[in-house]
Structure 1
Amino acid sequence: MQRRHTRKFVRTFFTTPTALEGEEDSAKMLNRAADLRGMEAPDVWVPDNEDATAPSMRDEGAQNIIDVLAEKGDGFPGEVHPRVVWHRDSPTTRHQGFKHMLEIADPDNGAIDNLDGFVIPEVGGIDDWKKADEFFTIVEHEHDLEEGSLAMSVIIESGAAELAMRKLRDEMGKPDNNLERMFLLVDGEVDYTKDMRAITPTGGLPEWPELRHNTSRGASAAGCIAVDGPYDDIRDVDGYNERMTDNQAKGMLGIWSLTPGQVVEANTNPLPPATGSWLLDADGREVELTEEDGVFVYNGDRISLTEEGDEYTLAVGGDEQTLDEDELVDELLGLTSYVPSMDDIVDSMEEFEAARDAGTGAIAITRSATLDIDGVEMDIATDRMWDEATYQAAKTPITLFQDVYEHRPDQHDDLAELYSEDVVERAASVGN
């Protein structure tokens, strides 16, 4: 399989209505989105001519996409992939989407130079994906575009589409299709819930962790990029970040964004933090320790520690132990974990590279800290063995950063402000 797209990662998938009914300027949301820059601008902008736009406004919406891309598309820093209408069970809907694709991609209309592809919703089985791909190929032939130059992304909104991901890898590269144009696999949990006829006591959406795992796996197998669906509670910033953290553990580093505020969160969340932090498991609740003059202090009431002579009494919840110093250190090591900063990751990679170049296959990298619990201080240290496999796994956040740095020069100043110029320079070159 040959990747047709250059992005290795997409953090943000931002949708915008293409035409607003009753407004003097029906394209005002498109115009606002086209002016976004820096961390407020998404990696992928999706002018949404499907769910976000009323059916009666979609023809006008297609024209608005053309007008805004022709006027402002040159300056937009991300990729542009409009969503058109489609449905696995409706030839009429598919034909309408096809006509809009033809219109938007027509070089005579002035938008094609700023158009990267289209997003197809409501797909079904793999044969339906191939129908959509054929429409892309016809559009390219009609307008003398390079075959496969328009990227195709799909919204996984049905059980049939979820099963189709398992077949995608086998179909890509066959001479009877151009499915190598596939770019994003995006979860659409709302319609997926409807298709699955799922019910919850509150009427809310299920979490669907299996769908997110399957989409991430399908994207990995087919050389695509996985993106989670929308997080509707736009005021719940903590919940949005928790969802992203959970997704990242599945290999899904992108997420739908509904507002510029969510875009900022989603652009920032996958990047390594600017400063490292120690976490403590306080009776099932993970707490970030506060650094005070180089000492990491626990200020909660779920853990207590007292010292009497050579013995220590450690209480975690209802469990109390009397320990000597070595035993206490072992217990604290089991309760703590370290979140490395960007600088930490780069330091470790550079240290391993130097050792490897000198002929050493594995090294131990030490992380130490002084903890303070109820005024009792204790030094702890962990050693992590780094070999080539560890190094390659650690490269993922750095590769993400490098992909962002390459494709989003409008964010260079934000990154330098977040990390410092020196760390950015080192992170951009390490591992290459």
Structure 2
Amino acid sequence: MATHGNERAFVRSFFTSPTAVEGDDTAEMLRKASQLRGMQAPDVWVPDNEDATAPTMRDEGVENIVDVVSEHGEEFPGEIHPRIVWHRDDPETRRRGFEHMMRIADPDAGAVEHIDGFAVPEVGSIDDWKKADEFITVVEAENGLEEGSLSMSPIVESGEAELALARIDREIGKRSNNLERLFLLVDGEVDYTKDMRATTPTGELPPWPELRHNTSRAASANGLIAVDGPYDDIRDVEGYHERMTDNRAKGMLGIWSLTPGQVVEANTGPLPPKEGTYLLEVGGETVELDRTGGGAHAYEGDDVELDELDDGRYRLRVARDQRELDEDGLAEALRDRTQYVVAMDDYVDSMAEFEEAKAAGRGAISMERTATLVLDGVEVEVTRDRMWDEATYQAAQTPITLFQEVYEARPDQRDELRETYGEDVVDRAMEVG
């Protein structure tokens, strides 16, 4: 059996593949996905025998899962969690899902030793979650597998399932169930929108920030991992990035990926950037400043003007706001309007410095960062001070702990990580914390 899902602290990418497609080789898409490596290979691969596969081809899809996973599963660098059919209101669908799990978990077929668990769609109340858990327990018992060796990842696609998120902590750990097998909590906004009878003027999905918050909160409260649903505009890379950025602010680092290209974005997005950048607030929007050859950060646009006056003062215009300031006032005004996107080596250096201070008996230290901003050809030095204490240190650990887990769990990505960040930064990142 592959590593049990609950041993992971992070999942960045959740990639689904149809289990059977029309053509001479119905397992073609599965076979291609099984051979993905490096940043194109997801943390969790989901051979999807539900929505991604036509109902008439799902029995064949199960056989394709068995064939492909038994042949390629050992070499696949991520975890494998087939998505079976299930529905809270349909016993016949649940029966088919059970039969499909039994076939996939047959030890004589050779696939189950590479299977980490199952993704279960269309769950309802917490009692329905327990039905799925019981079916998986029976699958384990009937196939001679260790109880709890297969994890379960419910997909939240209904109001009932969202309400169940608040009951996990009251049910998990009871002797009457094996809900300790829970691994991922995955949002499915398309079916959730249908279940909620929600509409928008354009027909697009509502953003559902409350659902994503509730899923992330339930994952945090129960030691699980939250994953956002699919972003179906696969050409909108910027929108995908914005969604991931918003999710990370909610503690949700994982996201559904529909293509290998989205997998790359999902795998790299949560990791700290190689170089830090400065952001400038202009007219209610945030603009990234360009790094110059000399290491300064320059604004290139028409909404900011800076003139150096004869008396040592400056005239600063940002959008419609215009002021005359002395040198200190200018630095303060720009400091109020700027934010810094922390680079990998900044995290590592700051954590190492705090660790040294803590070892010397100091509980809090001040750290200073100075940058040169260039506006209309005028250079201005801006200095930011931040007080670091144990709480700040613990918060900074999250991106570094993610990096450390990725480096340990995904050897196929190590060369790319070292090429991106450099040998020295990677080595130090693996030592701090």
> What's the TM-score, normalizing by structure 2?
0.98
Structure 2 SS opposite 1:365: strand
Structure 1 SS opposite 2:73: helix
Cα distance between partner residues in 2 of 1:377 and 1:57: 65
Query: Counterpart of 1:375 in structure 2: which amino acid?
Result: G
Contact 1:187 1:228 in 2 (8 A): yes
1:294 Cα deviation after fit: 2.2
Contact 2:5 2:116 in 1 (8 A): no
Moved more, 417-426 or 72-81: 417-426
Contact 1:4 1:149 in 2 (8 A): no
User: What's the counterpart of residue 396 of structure 2?
Assistant: 394
Match of 1:349 among 348, 351, 362: 351
User: What's the counterpart of residue 280 of structure 1?
Assistant: 280
Cα distance between partner residues in 2 of 1:173 and 1:403: 26
Cα distance between partner residues in 2 of 1:35 and 1:226: 26
Give per-residue Cα distances to partners, 1:181-225, cap 9 Å, x unaligned.
Answer: 000000000000000000100111000011011110011111110
Cα distance between partner residues in 2 of 1:387 and 1:319: 36
User: What's the counterpart of residue 17 of structure 2?
Assistant: 16
| Runs (5+) with no aligned partner, structure 2 | none
User: What's the counterpart of residue 113 of structure 1?
Assistant: 113
Give per-residue Cα distances to partners, 1:123-158, cap 9 Å, x unaligned.
Answer: 000000000000010001101111111000011000
1:64 Cα deviation after fit: 0.3
Contact 1:4 1:148 in 2 (8 A): no
Query: Counterpart of 1:7 in structure 2: which amino acid?
Result: R
Counting matched residue pairs gives 428
Structure 1 SS opposite 2:266: helix
| Runs (5+) with no aligned partner, structure 1 | none
Match of 1:411 among 396, 410, 413: 413
Give per-residue Cα distances to partners, 1:65-87, cap 9 Å, x unaligned.
Answer: 00001111110000000000000
Cα distance between partner residues in 2 of 1:379 and 1:316: 18
Match of 2:424 among 419, 422, 425: 422
Query: Counterpart of 2:61 in structure 1: which amino acid?
Result: G
Cα distance between partner residues in 2 of 1:161 and 1:399: 30
Query: Counterpart of 1:262 in structure 2: which amino acid?
Result: Q
Cα distance between partner residues in 2 of 1:62 and 1:104: 7
The answer to whether structure 1 residue 382 and structure 2 residue 384 are counterparts is yes
User: What's the counterpart of residue 27 of structure 2?
Assistant: 27
**Structure 1 pair 4–73 and aligned structure 2 pair: CA distance change class (3 A):** closer
Cα distance between partner residues in 2 of 1:202 and 1:369: 44
User: What's the counterpart of residue 308 of structure 2?
Assistant: 307
Cα distance between partner residues in 1 of 2:411 and 2:430: 12
Structure 2 SS opposite 1:75: coil
**Structure 1 pair 4–243 and aligned structure 2 pair: CA distance change class (3 A):** closer
The answer to whether structure 1 residue 180 and structure 2 residue 180 are counterparts is yes
Cα distance between partner residues in 2 of 1:376 and 1:56: 67
Give per-residue Cα distances to partners, 1:255-281, cap 9 Å, x unaligned.
Answer: 000000000000000000001111111
Match of 1:335 among 337, 350, 369: 337
Cα distance between partner residues in 2 of 1:69 and 1:295: 51
RMSD: 0.9
Cα distance between partner residues in 2 of 1:29 and 1:422: 39
Cα distance between partner residues in 1 of 2:431 and 2:173: 33
Cα distance between partner residues in 2 of 1:425 and 1:375: 38
User: What's the counterpart of residue 8 of structure 2?
Assistant: 7
Contact 2:185 2:226 in 1 (8 A): yes
> What's the TM-score, normalizing by structure 1?
0.98
The answer to whether structure 1 residue 89 and structure 2 residue 89 are counterparts is yes
1:4 Cα deviation after fit: 6.5
Cα distance between partner residues in 1 of 2:120 and 2:415: 34
User: What's the counterpart of residue 45 of structure 1?
Assistant: 45
Give per-residue Cα distances to partners, 1:380-405, cap 9 Å, x unaligned.
Answer: 10110000000000000001001111
Cα distance between partner residues in 2 of 1:245 and 1:325: 35
State percent identity of aligned pairs.
Answer: 67
